[in-house]
Structure 1
Amino acid sequence: MAFLTAIGLMSGTSMDGIDIAILRTDGVNAIEFGPSSAIAYEAAFRRRIEASLETAKAIVRRKDRPGDLADLERQITLRHAAVVRDFVAGLPAEWRKPDLIGFHGQTVLHRPHLGLTVQLGDGGLLARETGIPVVYDMRAADMAQGGQGAPLVPAYHAALARSLPEPYGAMKPAVFVNVGGISNITYVPEKGDPVAFDSGPGNTLIDQWVSREGGVPFDAGGAIASEGGVVTEVAARYLDNPFFDESGPKSLDRNDFTLALAERLELADGARTLANVSAEAILKSVEHLPEVPKLWVVCGGGRKNPHIVGDLRAGAERTGAKVIVAEDAGLDGDATEAEAWAFLAVRSALGLPLTFPTTTGCSRPVTGGVRAEP
């Protein structure tokens, strides 16, 4: 099996910056981890991306770029290119010649029921700017085969689950949880394909809440929530959303859940309540899994919120399951999504499936991605 070295780039629904990681893999099981980094967007640029979500609502065809979206796409791409150049320049010699870049871009619209998903990012421009082939637009082929176009990380999560150190490696079924702006889960059985879907809001509502009510971009370490309590009737109303009754595959847009139900809460109570919603939404996903998991592995920025992890741990313990964060298993929870995009780029280059009927609802296992040469 061929081994390729790939850089992964991820700018998620939190819209806070660019995650970058490099790895070497056969696209199946063998993974050698390289360095990773995260570069924050400046506040003004983040606000510009947030504003673009409203403009993007006018998109009816995937290539449409109304308003200033074309210029924003170029600026996002150039920022990614600068990050790649700086990252490669600082790599140890053995990592300095990557074969590929896996480029996610910035999601500004996701409407799976319309077969429409839009990520701002010009793969051709990125390839020219970096001199490295780029694999991008990895969701479109899945949606053309009836899939949700998300989540795409399950193929990577499944590979990680197969390589977990003991005692965790023997704890199957296992679930990888990525708590980003939106949370998604990957259920990995002892045998067979993974099962995956978006489980609900992750950090996005918390970030929106503390930004609006407290003037800060996120609740660092759950400090604001530590001063408040869970308002159970508000949490219950969020969790009564019909989304949670749907079986997977299913996926969410950043705007599918809003702050409307949290109006009139105090700042700290709102932050604590929304953290509880994030955790309980993940726990509710068990209702749609083949078996109750024995292990939960939490990745993404939400693993740094002790209230999300604590509530998840308390709920999982009721079923005898163990909850760990990525670092407990020797993984880098900050780099997981960027690593996934590197892994998926390799799978795309090798013609391997990126998605499965059990992860996105596609009609058959589907490879995908568009390759751009420098």
Structure 2
Amino acid sequence: MSGYNVLGLMSGTSLDGLDMALCHIWQENGHWNFTIKHTKDVAYSDDMREQLKNAIYLSEKDHAQLHRDYGIWLGEQSKNFMEAFGSDIDFIASHGHTSHHRPHDGVTFQLGDGQLLADTSSKKVVCDFRTKDVSLKGQGAPLVPIGDKLLFHEYDFCLNLGGISNISFEKDGERIAYDIGLANMPLNYITHKMGLAYDENGKLARSGKLDHGLLQQLNALAYYQLPYPKSTGYEWFTGEIVPLIEASKSSEIDLLHTFIHHNCEQIAISVHKHQSKSQNKLLATGGGALNQFFMDTLQEKLGSHTEVVVPSRTLIAYKEALVFALMGVLRLEGQTNVLRSVTGATSDSCSGEVFLPNQG
């Protein structure tokens, strides 16, 4: 197989924008390989960020309209990408943007109409990677562990720090993964209150002081006691975390400091619980890996038995887009791309809907 050129599209819970990565993916000697050829990040306008953020509250009619509008917008961004970097792509693999995720109610929805994305970009599209798993009684998340298993198997743990934190590792011959809890979502919420897009390198957080009372409240949240497989999202953040932030008397800088300590304590608990070797390597990706105070604190909490590996900025920023590109390839190849060991579904699945552009 000569491989596939795939444009992977990812929009995460941190709502900072659309990640686009043109990836070459191929199989050789039974192993999957990749190169990331071109990347682009498209920041959301304030209006679009608000629409996506509040999509969960929309009426059915308005939600359906946003689904269509966002699908067209994704198609337009894909066209712009191809004009800039060449149209030599076989298809687009789109995660969409999650507006609803209540797997226990059988509900998950990713905005970004696949047919309109295909029509607008004039390219084949694979999208909607979560719904099938939820129909099989799974959590529909996390999905990235298939990429960890096939592309990053040399690491003992793969940690992604987007809006939330999730981890993936091998245990007894199976890939295990789940959402640990918080990562950038509370940090972004606090910096936005300060009129900042983010806390560069965690400089503000580093200068803060620990709020022991808040740390105790956060560590006592019921979600952390749930067994895996488990996943969480924006509803949990707005329902349980935002009230704690708003009730706190601490300064924003102390809140940033405290949340990073909390995040790292919960990550360390998960790693220590599952490490089976005396020396381990942990791959850290997602926006949180660019925050030096976050990384320093994480290394401190993990101790000397686990080395935190921070890869290139390209891989940090675009790993999820890469993995959705891989999931699209696996879907077209008819291979498993969602693991029951990760989601708790009744079976593995080959998930994703395929849309061909309408001609004429």
- Spell out, residue by residue over 1:226-259, the C-alpha distance to the aligned partner (whole angstroms, 9 max, x if none): 3312223312221111221222111002121322
- Spell out, residue by residue over 1:29-53, the C-alpha distance to the aligned partner (whole angstroms, 9 max, x if none): 1223211111101122212222223
State which of 189, 192, 205 in structure 1 corresponds to 2:173.
Answer: 192
Which amino acid is the alignment partner of residue 250 of structure 2?
L
Q: Is the 8 A contact 1:100 1:346 kept in 2?
A: no
Which amino acid is the alignment partner of residue 264 of structure 1?
K
User: 1:324 — aligned with what?
Assistant: 309
Matched, 1:131 2:122: yes
Q: Is the 8 A contact 1:109 1:253 kept in 2?
A: no
Which amino acid is the alignment partner of residue 265 of structure 1?
S
- Residues 54 and 273 (structure 1), Cα distance of their counterparts in 2 relative to 1, 3 Å cut: farther
State which of 30, 34, 40 in structure 1 corresponds to 2:33.
Answer: 30
Matched, 1:70 2:64: yes
Which amino acid is the alignment partner of residue 340 of structure 1?
V
SS class of match (2:54): helix
- Residues 2 and 357 (structure 1), Cα distance of their counterparts in 2 relative to 1, 3 Å cut: farther
State which of 34, 46, 49 in structure 1 corresponds to 2:49.
Answer: 46
Point out the more displaced range, 344-353 or 69-78.
69-78
Distance 2:169 2:260 in 1: 22
Q: Is the 8 A contact 2:203 2:293 kept in 1?
A: no
Q: Is the 8 A contact 2:75 2:119 kept in 1?
A: no
Q: How does 1:115-264 map to 2 (within 5 A)?
A: 115-162=106-153, 169=154, 174-188=156-170, 192-212=173-193, 214-257=194-237, 258-262=241-245, 263-264=248-249
Which amino acid is the alignment partner of residue 341 of structure 2?
T
User: 1:311 — aligned with what?
Assistant: 297
Q: Number of residue pairs matched?
A: 348
Q: How does 1:272-291 map to 2 (within 5 A)?
A: 272-286=257-271, 289=274, 291=276
User: 2:348 — aligned with what?
Assistant: 365
State which of 275, 281, 287 in structure 2 corresponds to 1:301.
Answer: 287
User: 2:7 — aligned with what?
Assistant: 7
- Spell out, residue by residue over 1:22-71, the C-alpha distance to the aligned partner (whole angstroms, 9 max, x if none): 1122375122321111110112221222222333xxxxxxxxx6252223
SS class of match (2:5): strand
Distance 2:81 2:43 in 1: 14
State which of 109, 112, 129 in structure 1 corresponds to 2:103.
Answer: 112
Distance 1:125 1:160 in 2: 31
Instruction: Quote how far apart the aligned CAs of 1:296 are.
Output: 0.9
Distance 2:289 2:255 in 1: 19
Which amino acid is the alignment partner of residue 350 of structure 1?
E
- Residues 287 and 201 (structure 1), Cα distance of their counterparts in 2 relative to 1, 3 Å cut: same
Q: Normalization by structure 1: what TM-score? A: 0.87
Task: State the 4+ residue runs in structure 1 displaced beyond 6 angstroms.
Answer: none
SS class of match (1:107): strand
User: 1:82 — aligned with what?
Assistant: 76
- Name the % identity: 28
SS class of match (2:341): coil
- Residues 354 and 110 (structure 1), Cα distance of their counterparts in 2 relative to 1, 3 Å cut: same
Distance 1:160 1:7 in 2: 17
Distance 1:79 1:229 in 2: 42
Q: Normalization by structure 2: what TM-score? A: 0.90
Distance 1:240 1:326 in 2: 32
Instruction: Quote how far apart the aligned CAs of 1:350 are.
Output: 0.8
Q: Is the 8 A contact 1:8 1:21 kept in 2?
A: yes
Distance 1:18 1:82 in 2: 12
